[in-house]
A and B are shown apart, each in its own frame.
Chain A
Amino acid sequence: MALELEDVRRAAHLARLGLSDEEAASYVDDLSRILEMADRLQAVDTEHVAPLAHSLDTTQHLRVDEVTEEDQRERFQRCAPAVEDGLYLVPRVVE
Chain B
Amino acid sequence: MQWETVIGLEVHVQLATQSKIFSGASTAFGAAPNTQACAVDLGLPGVLPVLNESAVAMAVQFGLGINAEIPEVSIFDRKNYFYADLPKGYQTSQMYHPIVGPGEVEIVLGDDKTKRIRVHHAHLEEDAGKSLHEDYHGMSGIDLNRAGTPLLEIVSEPDMRSAAEAVAYLRAIHAIVTYLGVSDGNMAEGSMRCDVNVSIRPEGQAAFGTRAEIKNVNSFRFVERAIAFEVERQIELLEDGGRVVQETRLYDPEADETRSMRTKEEANDYRYFPCPDLLPVVLDKAYVDHLRSTLPELPAEKRARFENALGLSAYDAGVLSSSRPMAEYFEAVKEVCGDAKLAANWVQGELSGQLNRENLSIDDSPVTAQQLGELVLRVKDETINGKAAKQVFAALWNGEGDSADAIIEAKGLKQVTDTGAIEAMIDQVIAESPVQVAQYQDADPDKRGKMIGYFVGQVMKASRGTANPQQVNALLKQKLDP
Complex Cα distance, B271 from A13, in Å, reads: 13
A85 pairs with B52, CB closer than 8 A: no
Q: Please name 18 further chain A to chain B contacts, defined as beta carbons within 8 Å, in addition to the given A77-B34, A91-B138, sorted by A numbering.
A: A13-B266, A59-B281, A60-B280, A61-B279, A62-B56, A65-B19, A67-B18, A67-B19, A68-B24, A69-B19, A73-B32, A73-B33, A85-B136, A86-B34, A87-B141, A89-B142, A90-B131, A95-B261
**A92 x B139 contact (CB < 8 A):** yes
Task: List 25 interface pairs A-B (beta carbons < 8 Å), by A numbering.
Answer: A53-B276, A54-B279, A59-B279, A59-B282, A60-B280, A63-B51, A65-B53, A65-B54, A66-B18, A66-B19, A67-B25, A67-B26, A76-B37, A76-B44, A82-B139, A84-B136, A84-B141, A86-B143, A89-B136, A90-B84, A91-B138, A91-B140, A92-B140, A95-B133, A95-B250
Measured CB to CB, the closest approach of chain A to B238, in angstroms, equals: 28
Determine whether the beta carbon of B54 is less than 8 Å from that of A69. no
The 4 A-B pairs with the shortest beta carbon distances in the complex, nearest first, are A87-B141, A68-B24, A65-B54, A62-B53
Report Cα–Cα, A18/B434, bound state, in Å.
103
> Smallest distance from the beta carbon of A56 to chain B beta carbons, Å?
8
8 Å CB interface, B390-436 against A: none
Write the nearest CB–CB distance from A89 to chain B, whole angstroms.
Answer: 4
- Give the Cβ gap from B216 to chain A, nearest Cβ, in Å: 10
Residue of B at shortest CB range from A82?
A: B139
On chain A, the residues within 8 Å of B19 by CB distance are 63, 65-69
Contact: B34 with A67, CB < 8 Å?
A: no
Contact B38 A62 (CB under 8 A): no
Chain A residues with Cβ under 8 A from B466's Cβ?
none
Contact, CB under 8 Å: A60 / B279: yes
8 Å CB contact of B279 from A58, A68, A71, A88: A58
Do A69 and B276 touch (CB < 8 A)?
no
Q: Which residue of A lies closest to B282 (CB)?
A: A59
